[in-house]
Amino acid sequence: MDCDISSIFESTRQWAVSARQSGWLSAGQLVELDAVDLRSPATLFDNSENRPLVVAFFGGTGVGKSTLLNRLAEAEIANTGVERPTSREVSIYLHNSIRLEQLPANFPVDKVRTAKHENSAIKDILWVDMPDIDSTESNNRQIVLDWLPHIDILLYVVSPERYQDEKGWRLLLSQAANHAWMFIMNQWDKGDASQIEAFRNQLSKGGFENPIILRTDCRKHVSVNEQDDFAQLRDTIASLANLNTIDQLEQRGMMLRFQQLRNTIQASIEAMGPDESVATLREQWEHVWKESADNLQQGMQWPIKQLAQTYSTRTGSLLKQLKKSSQPNKAEEKTPKLSSALLWDNWAQTRFNDALDQLTLEAGASNINMPVAPFKTNLENLRNIAHKILHTQTELSLRQALANPGNILQRFFLKLTGICTTVLPLLAINWAAFEIYQGYYQSSTGLGEEYLGSNFAIHSGLLVCISWLLPWFLHRRLKPYAETVALKALTRGVTAGLELTKLEIDETLQKTLEQRDHYRMAGQQLLEQCQHPVFTRNISESQTLNRMLAKKE
């Protein structure tokens, strides 16, 4: 079982570390995962299948924990008296046949006192006397926390004066579900029945419906009276020191560890945002981009016109300068360079950055609730692509416009009028020449009238002029203005550039969401691995053990 949960935990941690590096989990969530404690009492022994029941005395300063252990052992094996309020040691009392496999990790071995015995009646029990949790020694609390995962049953020892101790109560509440508990009101000669009832009511708030509360009087040289339950304490623990109880407590501990692991994985998955938030984010992004693209197109109308006017004053210079803008500057060039920077200036870059920032903010909004780090990281690489895309698209659009100005019908009539400016004058000249030749021939032979006069010269000249002027005028009027061509080409280039930029952002957004889905699916698979059927059965069939378990888990 431990191997199974260790393997699942290792897989879970690799998943969480990878998700953390990608920004889908926070450092705090990784800390919560590391807080899942896989240690158990069985890890202390070389043979966990035949290990003893681990029982520890737990409580505050001066309540008599060490005195109880000494009374149980009938020997002075634990520090008592004036040194006890600053006790720094863990006292272990065990049978000679028991061998510890390992102490808690990083635990100082010089702070463990071990005493052996040959009492076969308690050979299946390992007794532990832990330091005072409210001691002035700051390390005592850490020593107690290091040992707690290795304890089966905690004997919470209080005194009539100390049963409401705040430090012990807080630690009890934090550990209530992880152990079986018995409660001992020690130094009972100083108490009364009302304190037992008050203690019982207090424990009910911690989830113990019918707790086992025993009274003990561990004073020396005092005979045991009818109010001393030490024998019941010893016999109850001895009755629980069997393989069935130990197995039940192991199974319960395993269930709790799996439950803690499941809760941590589930919280991590939920931290990546719900599934329905994906559609909401896409919808919000469409709205953000539409508004931003409209603002960009409106804001770039003026620089587009400026570039178009520049092109009209320098034939072919706009395309040439756009091409040269990506090349190193030459000192000898005196003509001001025209580049895409005139279109994509600081204002446009700021508006574009605002759109990407808004997308990141929308991802972290309360109605979407996704981690913003992955979006911020992935979108950062896109902040400098817009001006490059715009440069490429405007240059391509200008080249195409210059190669084929106007529309198809306009280009047809432009070509037709261009031909007419040559053909029609030639036809008129040929006709006039033919008339002149014919008139000269007929006049010289006496067959005709006199030579052609001035009227013919004037009219034929007018005919030649009109046959050239009319198609030339039409050709002139049909020919697109360079400024108009550039204006339309730049507008189309900007529109195409913004569309391509959005496609790049959409692709990055899609990859980011696919990465999120990958981590969520991997987390769901880990959750399924934690749902092992062996951990679904009821744990305890013992009425005594049931009374020792907190019901609020």
Task: Assign residue 182 the CATH number of its domain.
Answer: 3.40.50.300
The reported pLDDT for the residue numbered 322 is 47
The domain of 489 spans 276-328+335-405+482-507
229 and 280, same domain (yes or no)? no
443 and 383, same domain (yes or no)? no
Q: Is the pTM here over 0.75, yes or no?
A: no
DSSP string, 414-426: HHHHHHHHHHHHH
Domain final residue pick, 478, 499, 521: 478
166 and 132, same domain (yes or no)? yes
103 and 165, same domain (yes or no)? yes
286 and 428, same domain (yes or no)? no
495 and 459, same domain (yes or no)? no
* Cβ contact 206:553 at 8 Å: no
Whether 163 is covered by a domain: the verdict is: yes
Please tell me whether residue 130 adopts helix, strand or coil conformation: coil
Whether 32 is covered by a domain: the verdict is: no
Task: Compute the C-alpha angle 214/218/222, nearest 5°.
Answer: 120
Please report, in angstroms and rounded to a whole number, the separation of the first and last CA atoms in the chain.
21
77 and 192, same domain (yes or no)? yes
Predicted confidence pLDDT, tens digits, the chain (553 residues): 445 788 899 999 999 999 999 999 999 988 988 888 888 888 888 776 788 999 999 888 888 888 888 888 877 776 654 344 445 678 888 888 888 776 666 666 667 888 888 888 888 999 998 888 776 666 777 788 888 888 999 999 988 887 777 777 787 878 888 889 999 998 888 888 888 998 899 888 888 889 999 998 876 655 555 578 888 998 999 999 988 888 888 888 888 888 889 999 999 999 999 988 999 999 999 999 999 999 999 998 888 888 877 765 444 444 444 444 445 444 334 433 445 567 888 899 999 999 999 999 999 988 889 999 999 999 998 998 888 898 888 888 877 776 666 666 766 777 788 888 888 888 888 888 887 777 777 777 766 566 666 777 888 888 888 888 888 887 766 666 666 777 888 888 899 999 999 999 999 999 999 999 999 999 999 999 887 545 444 555 678 888 898 875 4
219 and 363, same domain (yes or no)? no
> Exposure of 123 by Cβ count < 10 A (0-12 exposed, 13-18 middle, 19+ buried)?
middle
Q: What is the chain's length?
A: 553
β-strand partners of 90:
112
Nearest to 203 by CA among 163, 232, 240, 233: 163
Whether 31 is covered by a domain: the verdict is: no
499 and 446, same domain (yes or no)? no
Cα–Cα dist 261/409, whole Å: 73
The reported pLDDT for the residue numbered 148 is 87
Domain final residue pick, 478, 497, 521: 478
87 and 232, same domain (yes or no)? yes
The enclosing H or E element of 437 equals helix 408-445
168 and 53, same domain (yes or no)? yes
Whether 168 is covered by a domain: the verdict is: yes
- Count structural domains, the chain: 3
Whether 149 is covered by a domain: the verdict is: yes
Phi first, then psi: what are they for 88, rounded to 5°? -115, 5
Cα–Cα dist 286/294, whole Å: 12
Whether 380 is covered by a domain: the verdict is: yes
Domain final residue pick, 478, 495, 519: 478
413 and 390, same domain (yes or no)? no
> At a CB cut-off of 8 Å and minimum separation 6, what does 381 contact?
508
Kindly state the DSSP code that residue 51 receives in the 8-state scheme: P
Other CB atoms closer than 10 Å to residue 396's CB: what's the count?
16
Nearest to 53 by CA among 95, 89, 4: 95
